[in-house]
Structure 1
């Protein structure tokens, strides 16, 4: 199966501030992570996820404990879907052209910007913008997202926190504004899945989200589909 993040033009990127997140704010234990991803690739370490979360202090860290748990479950459910339960680091059967016309071009070739990491970041404009935000030259070194676990998690959280993709808001905003898990799917894959585009894929994401909210002992909320 092919996994990739679909995106539109990207918003301006702000610098990332990285104060440490508290254990309570993190909302998930090593044991819960192991239950969610029993067959994960060794690349996707719990420590890498925790370190990456420190770069985005607003992630799953609002005033409402229920919403914090729901957002964490939503992020990891989409991650699970995109990577086959954290088994895949790179897109399966990559190929084709992932190069949209931009001034910075595709210095590593049009096929080099296929999906990598927890949200299978793809396309040259995403690699450029994520690299600018995270202080890594991902445009010239896209393979960093398959060799550096913390950076790979940070790139996924960068998308989650800052990018609308084909939706009207970021996945983070969808959860904290009460738009529900379904809106996070729209921000990641838009019409490829939503509005009847691929209901089986939507149902798969929702199933995992319900499973993960159960592990985190929180109700899933409403508006689960898109």
Structure 2
């Protein structure tokens, strides 16, 4: 379960990490959709969740969910055809955050105990290993702010 398990400080760090990534991905809650929308983010090799012609699976929502192989199962989780209607992630605030929590639990929750750096790698691995140091630093700064607000230490392994 989200922010359950471990100590109270572990739970606070997971909440801080979640909101740090949401804050970064949405540019401090300014954007619910990716600014650059020209790419379709369609993985044609994924036969389980095939792309619908004319639909684009660019980043949307608090964690900027992308790709057909994420929209399909996220929609199933919520009870919506996410492949046919990827806009659902940005049209309804409840669906939007449910999708973000689905993505978090699927890809990030299991590495939270490895430190904030591991969550960066799980959310956007291309930023790691020098791929985008400025973005990593921004995430860490925001995480630090949330941890301070929650009165909890940052923990280990802050970068990736």
- Give the structure-1-normalised TM-score: 0.67
Aligned mates of 2:53, 2:86 — CA distance in 1:
8
**1:117-152 residue CA offsets vs partner (Å, 9 max, x unmatched):** 000111111101111222211111111111111111
1:96 correspondence with 2:39: yes
Aligned mates of 2:115, 2:6 — CA distance in 1:
17
2:82 alignment partner, SS class:
coil
Gaps of at least 5 residues in structure 1 are 1-57, 164-170
Aligned mate of 1:147, from 88, 91, 95: 91
Corresponding residue for residue 118 of structure 1: 62
Give the superposed CA RMSD: 1.3
**1:183-209 residue CA offsets vs partner (Å, 9 max, x unmatched):** 00001111x111111111101100000
Aligned mate of 1:160, from 87, 104, 109: 104
Aligned mates of 2:91, 2:40 — CA distance in 1:
22
Corresponding residue for residue 117 of structure 2: 182
Aligned mates of 1:214, 1:173 — CA distance in 2:
23
1:142 alignment partner, SS class:
coil
User: Equivalences for 1:1-226 in 2 at 5 Å?
Assistant: 58-101=1-44, 102-103=46-47, 104-109=49-54, 112-163=56-107, 171-175=108-112, 178-190=113-125, 192-226=126-160
Q: Conserved in 2, the CA contact under 8 Å of 1:108 and 1:139?
A: no
Gaps of at least 5 residues in structure 2 are none
Query: Size of the alignment, in residue pairs?
Result: 158
Q: Which has the higher helix share?
A: 2
Aligned mates of 1:66, 1:96 — CA distance in 2:
40
Q: Conserved in 2, the CA contact under 8 Å of 1:70 and 1:218?
A: yes
Aligned mates of 2:100, 2:76 — CA distance in 1:
14
- Give the structure-2-normalised TM-score: 0.93
Q: CA deviation at 1:108?
A: 4.6
